[in-house]
Each structure stands twice: as structure tokens, then as C-alpha cells.
């Protein structure tokens, strides 16, 4: 068992929690010592670099994943990352083209396998660990169980090591040596009728369809005053809020401003980020009060309206940051549809996945209720979240139900004391 992973610099199940200290597993190496030649593939295949900016090449990666990527345990749904999403996911600041690794068939040139890495500043127990995040490992179904995956993993390791990076973070649905944390997926129905039709969920005993639809109905509009889409000029404020919030978690990521702009500025059908702008909240409150005042008999209006001279602009904003920004909270989600396999009527499930969220002074449950409202309004069928960070505090109240899938978190060439972590100690989200 684990012929490959047993030979890699990863924590092993045999490692005892008590004698583990944080740090690298392999003896430190230099770039000069890294193997210069690519690993050998079976003779009918060749390595390639996938140029994700080229519309044809991103389509090839899209098609490989569309037909061969991750499915649920019953093979009813398969992740269907869009080409636009792949371009976003694979090209953050500092991305390397040679970390978008493909395998093609000699002669036909067909793309049959893929693996990718992107740079990320990981923090483990407060210590910065320069790392890559590995994702989108995929081998064509017809080529499974031929030990191609270990070759892909060794080759991307070599290419990452050639740039002086020695650690990686990755997630998987399967258990390998050795998870740093195990999380569960939770699901919030937005379109219960469709979810039941495609058998993503089932009608609960003693529930009718009509009662189920009513149970999951969301308001037409959000409730948090000052909630609006993030804009480019919010980047510095969001960076400060996000890094400040994430610092409490034992395993997390640290974001530069450029990275925040990349990962959070809204892109339709890729990523959605909303901020709570306390200044806007105050304006909205004043507008509401003055419109309420107009409903009153003449003369009463002056008494009801707040004195507009007291616009000490940064009122509520003072609660969190030293800067002069009025941004106090952040909530975000990304779009990852799944193909519905073998269904007559429906072929796609529209899913939103909770991304990073900073509650600030806004109750997290309220912020997430607004995220659900926004996602429902945009036509998503389901909103998914993991039980990490503070999510356990809202999942049940907001009518999320636990899924049948788990997500394991891993580190390559880094040991962490006192692992596995509890999900609430984990502050890292991979796509």
C-alpha cells in the first residue's frame, strides 16, 4: 500500500504526533542539485507545456477535465471547471508557464494528462512557507492505473524545485499519507426542485416538494447595509482585512495586494466578492431615514432626519483597521459547475463554492445569508462550503446539510506538529 507516497517526503501514518516538530522533511537542497532532465514517460507520450492563454490550448485542458476529472463516489456528477475559470486559477501573480504540465500522445498530439502548480505564500503555525499549490491532476480514464500519476507528480516537483521552491499544499478527496486536516463538504439547496430531479439531494420523508421549496426560499434582496461588489480601489483594504483575519489559523495563506486583486476582483461566472462599505451603509441609512421622513406629515421630517452635518465619514470603519478605508467585511464565492452524468433533462449543476470571508463587525451568519441570497438571485442551484475556519457557526442555522464527500488537506516536504488539525484551525481554500 502507498508504494509511491511511502517513498515521498510527506508525513507518514507511522509518524508519532509527539515527536513531530515543524519543518522540512528532506534535507535542504540547492537548485544546482535538482535533476535537469525531465522524468521519462512511457515511449508513446511526450511532455508539453500548456499555454493557458491560447484559446485552443485552454480548450484542450478544459476538455480533458470535462471528460476525466473528479467525480462523486457514485459517479453522478463531475466537476466542470470553465475555460475562463482555468485561466484565472492558473495565472495568479508570479505564475510559471512550465508549471502547467501536459502529457500528449506522440503522433496524434492528443492531451491525455495534466498537472499544475501555482505559487502561494503558505503560513504554517505562523511561519511563512514559500510553496506551490498543486491542482488539476488528471489522467485520461483509459490510461488509469498505469502509474502515470507518480511521474506527473515527480515532474512537477522537479520543475518547482528548479525555481527554488521545496514545499507544496494540495487537497484531494482520497486519503493519502498523511492528511494535515480532514474537512467535510456541506451543501445549501438554492433550487431544491432541480437538485432533487438530478438526485443531488432527495425529498426528505414526510416533506412535499412545495414544502421543500418553501423551506429553502431566500429573500429577494440582501440585508446587510453597505454590501456592494468589490472594486479595484478596495484592494488595499481587503488585503489588510483578509491577512489580519487569516493570521489566527494554523495553516493558511498570506496574500499580497496583487494576489488579492487577482483572486478577489469580481469576474462573472468565475469569482464574486462583496464588501461591506460602512460609509455606504451610513448613506443608505440616511436615505432610508429621509425617505421615511417624507412619509410623515410636513414639519415632522426635520425632526426625523439625522443632522447630515455629523457625517464624520469613518464611523463604523474605525472598528478594524488603522487605514482610512471604510471596508469592514468581505464575502466571496467562486463558480464551479458540475456536469450531471447521464440525465435526460439536465446536464449541468450550477454550484457556488464559499471562498474567503472576513466577517469583521458583521455577524458571519448574516453575511453568509446575504451570500446565499445573492447566489440564489444569480441562478445557482446549490451553495457549497467546507466546515473549516468559523463555518461550523452558521452551517446548520442557514440550512446547509452535510455532503457525502470529504476533502483532505496535504503538505509536501513539510511536517507540522500536532496534526491533524481540527477544521476550525484551518484557513486555507484551494480551488
**One residue of 173, 229, 244, 266 binding ligand EN5 per CB under 6 A:** 173
Runs of H (alpha helix) within 48-147: 55-68, 83-90
Indicate whether 430 belongs to the interface with ligand EN5 (CB under 6 A).
yes
Q: Which does 160 bind (CB under 5 to 8 A by kind): ligand NHW, ligand EN5, none?
A: ligand NHW
Stretch that binds ligand EN5, among 42-50, 156-164, 171-179, 388-396 (CB under 6 A): 171-179
Q: 159-218: which residues touch ligand NHW (CB under 6 A)?
A: 160-161, 165-168, 170-172, 174, 176
**One residue of 200, 380, 383, 412 binding ligand EN5 per CB under 6 A:** 200
Question: How many residues comprise the chain?
Answer: 431
Indicate whether 78 belongs to the interface with ligand EN5 (CB under 6 A).
no
Beta bridge partners of 351: 382
Task: Report whether 274 contacts 332 (CB < 8 A).
Answer: yes
Q: 284-343: which residues touch ligand NHW (CB under 6 A)?
A: none
Indicate whether 149 belongs to the interface with ligand NHW (CB under 6 A).
yes
Task: Report whether 416 contacts 20 (CB < 8 A).
Answer: yes
Indicate whether 171 belongs to the interface with ligand EN5 (CB under 6 A).
yes
Indicate whether 116 belongs to the interface with ligand EN5 (CB under 6 A).
no
The rounded radius of gyration (Å) of the Cα atoms in the chain is: 24
Task: Report whether 397 contacts 365 (CB < 8 A).
Answer: yes
Q: 384-423: which residues touch ligand EN5 (CB under 6 A)?
A: 401, 403-405, 407
**One residue of 72, 197, 348, 390 binding ligand EN5 per CB under 6 A:** 72
Stretch that binds ligand NHW, among 158-166, 212-220, 260-268, 416-424 (CB under 6 A): 158-166
Question: What residues have CB less than 8 Å from 313, skipping those under 6 apart?
Answer: 279, 282, 326
Task: Report whether 133 contacts 169 (CB < 8 A).
Answer: yes
What whole-number distance in Å separates Cα of residue 244 and Cα of residue 353?
22
Question: Which grid coordinates belong to 23?
Answer: 519543518
- CA-CA distances (angstroms) from residue 152 to 60, 102, 118, 241, 356? 18, 9, 15, 37, 30
Burial class (CB in 10 A: 0-12, 13-18, 19+), 144: exposed
Least distance from ligand NHW to the Cβ atom of residue 400, Å? 23
Residue with cell 512557507: 129
Indicate whether 111 belongs to the interface with ligand NHW (CB under 6 A).
no
Active site residue 431: yes
User: What number of other Cβ atoms are within 10 A of residue 252's Cβ?
Assistant: 25
Q: Which does 73 bind (CB under 5 to 8 A by kind): ligand NHW, ligand EN5, none?
A: ligand EN5
Closer by beta carbon to ligand EN5, 189 or else 325: 189
Runs of H (alpha helix) within 122-177: 148-161
User: What angle is formed at CA 272 by the lines to CA 267 and CA 277, rounded to 5 degrees?
Assistant: 115
What whole-number distance in Å separates Cα of residue 184 and Cα of residue 391?
11
User: What number of other Cβ atoms are within 10 A of residue 300's Cβ?
Assistant: 12
Indicate whether 34 belongs to the interface with ligand NHW (CB under 6 A).
no
What whole-number distance in Å separates Cα of residue 55 and Cα of residue 339?
21
Closer by beta carbon to ligand NHW, 132 or else 352: 132
Closer by beta carbon to ligand NHW, 69 or else 264: 69
Indicate whether 213 belongs to the interface with ligand EN5 (CB under 6 A).
no
Closer by beta carbon to ligand NHW, 117 or else 360: 117
Closer by beta carbon to ligand NHW, 150 or else 182: 150
**One residue of 21, 33, 73, 344 binding ligand EN5 per CB under 6 A:** 73
SS3 label, residue 323: coil
Closer by beta carbon to ligand NHW, 6 or else 379: 6
Indicate whether 196 belongs to the interface with ligand EN5 (CB under 6 A).
no
Q: Which does 84 bind (CB under 5 to 8 A by kind): ligand NHW, ligand EN5, none?
A: none
Question: Which grid coordinates belong to 260?
Answer: 488579492
Look at strands 100-105 and 348-349 and give their pairing: unpaired
Q: Which does 5 bind (CB under 5 to 8 A by kind): ligand EN5, ligand NHW, none?
A: ligand NHW
Runs of H (alpha helix) within 192-234: 192-197, 209-216
Q: Which does 412 bind (CB under 5 to 8 A by kind): ligand NHW, ligand EN5, none?
A: ligand NHW
Q: Which does 403 bind (CB under 5 to 8 A by kind): ligand EN5, ligand NHW, none?
A: ligand EN5
Indicate whether 134 belongs to the interface with ligand NHW (CB under 6 A).
yes
> Which residues here bind ligand NHW, judged by CB under 6 A?
2-5, 68-70, 132, 134-139, 144-150, 153, 156-157, 160-161, 165-168, 170-172, 174, 176, 412-413
Catalytic residues: 431
Amino acid at each position: 500500500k502507498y508504494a509511491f507516497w511511502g517513498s515521498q517526503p510527506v508525513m507518514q501514518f507511522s509518524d508519532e504526533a509527539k515527536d513531530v516538530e515543524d519543518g522540512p522533511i528532506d534535507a535542504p537542497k540547492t537548485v544546482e542539485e535538482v535533476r535537469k532532465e525531465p522524468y521519462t514517460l512511457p515511449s508513446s507520450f511526450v511532455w508539453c507545456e500548456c499555454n493557458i492563454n491560447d484559446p485552443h490550448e485552454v480548450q484542450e485542458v478544459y476538455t480533458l477535465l470535462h471528460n476525466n476529472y473528479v467525480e462523486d463516489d457514485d459517479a453522478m456528477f463531475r466537476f466542470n471547471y470553465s475555460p475562463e475559470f482555468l485561466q484565472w486559477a492558473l495565472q495568479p501573480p508570479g505564475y510559471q508557464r512550465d508549471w502547467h504540465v501536459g502529457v500528449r500522445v506522440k503522433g496524434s498530439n492528443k492531451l491525455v494528462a495534466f498537472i499544475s502548480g501555482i505559487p502561494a505564500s503558505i503560513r504554517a503555525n505562523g511561519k511563512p512557507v514559500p510553496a506551490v499549490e498543486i491542482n488539476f491532476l488528471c489522467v485520461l480514464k483509459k490510461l488509469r492505473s498505469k502509474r502515470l500519476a507518480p511521474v506527473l507528480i515527480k515532474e512537477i516537483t522537479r520543475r518547482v524545485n528548479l525555481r527554488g521552491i521545496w514545499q507544496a499544499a494540495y487537497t484531494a478527496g482520497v486519503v493519502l499519507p498523511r492528511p494535515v486536516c480532514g474537512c467535510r463538504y456541506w451543501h445549501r439547496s438554492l433550487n431544491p426542485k432541480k437538485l432533487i430531479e438530478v438526485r443531488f439531494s432527495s425529498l426528505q420523508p414526510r416533506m412535499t416538494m412545495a414544502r421543500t421549496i418553501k423551506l429553502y426560499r431566500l429573500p429577494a434582496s440582501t440585508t446587510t447595509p453597505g454590501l456592494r461588489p468589490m472594486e479595484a480601489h478596495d484592494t488595499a483594504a481587503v488585503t489588510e482585512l483578509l491577512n489580519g483575519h487569516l493570521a489566527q489559523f494554523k495553516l493558511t495563506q498570506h496574500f499580497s495586494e496583487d494576489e488579492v486583486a487577482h483572486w478577489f476582483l469580481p469576474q462573472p461566472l468565475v469569482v464574486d466578492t462583496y464588501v461591506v462599505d460602512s460609509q455606504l451603509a451610513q448613506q443608505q441609512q440616511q436615505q432610508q431615514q429621509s425617505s421615511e421622513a417624507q412619509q410623515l406629515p410636513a414639519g415632522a421630517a426635520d425632526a426625523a432626519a439625522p443632522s447630515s452635518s455629523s457625517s464624520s465619514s469613518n464611523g463604523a470603519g474605525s472598528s478594524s483597521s488603522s487605514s482610512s478605508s471604510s471596508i469592514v467585511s468581505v464575502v466571496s464565492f467562486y463558480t464551479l459547475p458540475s456536469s450531471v452524468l447521464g440525465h435526460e433533462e439536465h446536464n449541468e449543476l450550477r454550484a457556488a463554492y464559499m471562498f474567503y470571508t472576513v466577517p469583521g463587525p458583521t455577524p458571519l451568519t448574516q453575511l453568509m445569508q446575504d451570500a446565499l441570497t445573492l447566489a440564489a438571485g444569480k441562478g445557482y442551484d446549490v451553495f457549497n462550503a467546507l466546515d473549516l475556519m468559523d463555518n461550523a457557526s452558521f452551517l446548520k442555522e442557514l440550512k446547509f446539510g452535510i455532503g457525502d464527500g470529504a476533502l483532505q488537506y496535504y503538505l509536501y516536504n513539510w511536517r507540522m506538529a500536532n496534526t491533524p488539525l481540527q477544521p476550525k484551525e484551518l484557513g486555507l481554500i484551494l480551488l
